[in-house]
Amino acid sequence: MGVYIARFRNLPNAPPYKKFLRGYGYEGESSTDFSWDAPGFGIAYKKALRVPRTKISITGFGEVLPRWDNFVELDPTAKDVYGIPVLKIHMSDGENERAMIQDMGDSAGEMLEAARAKNIRTYAHPSAPRWALHEAGIARMGSDPKKSVLNQFQQTHDIQNLFVMDASGFPSNPCQNPTLTIMALCVRSCDYLMSEFKRNTF
């Protein structure tokens, strides 16, 4: 069974959480299986094996704040099969991410304890650079052309008839899965594009 625990830190209209900015959600799953690691041998083991064991695991997915240390560039040496330079990704955790990861582990333990789970094991270590690959960013959206590439319709500030309708406009990488937001932004951009097209703007 799949589990999703929505973001609960730093929600609108609530006091800010002191340890970090933004927030995270949990994704998880549960299953019931034989007790494969039951102790013992022979008949005792066979009996213990048949005692069903239910497991639940939850994993935090947190927002990564934009930092100058995190950037992409064209790899100076590595090329793909077509001879095009591949992307070199520079990514590390900042103070905010480290505090958030610690909270993911601590809060997961508290929730499972409150749900009366037994044999709880928590961890709070980052998987480098990340286990969840949510490609987004590099042409951030914003109202100031000096600080952003795209406007709210994913139209470039510099070139009027160039739209970038994918995840490039994300100013940071949120804790939610990005695809529905990518699609919603694309619909909004297409509406705008069509209305401008009808007005012969292009």
Residues that bind ligand FAD (CB under 6 A): 84, 133-136, 166-168, 177-179, 182
C-beta closer to ligand FAD: residue 135 or 196: 135
Min separation Cβ 84 and ligand FAD, Å: 6
DSSP 122-182: ----PPSS-SS-----SS-B-S-TTT-SB-TTSBBSS-TT-B--SGGG-SSB-SS-SHHHH
Q: How far, in Å, CA of 6 to CA of 174, rounded?
A: 12
Sheet containing 53-62: which strands, arranged edge to edge?
A: 2-5, 24-33, 53-62
- CA 175, distance to chain mean position in Å, is 4
C-beta closer to ligand FAD: residue 166 or 196: 166
Min separation Cβ 133 and ligand FAD, Å: 4
H-helix or E-strand spanning residue 5: strand 2-5
Min separation Cβ 26 and ligand FAD, Å: 15
Min separation Cβ 131 and ligand FAD, Å: 10
Min separation Cβ 164 and ligand FAD, Å: 9
C-beta closer to ligand FAD: residue 122 or 168: 168
C-beta closer to ligand FAD: residue 87 or 194: 87
DSSP 53-73: EEEEEEEEEE-B---TT-EEE
C-beta closer to ligand FAD: residue 109 or 171: 171
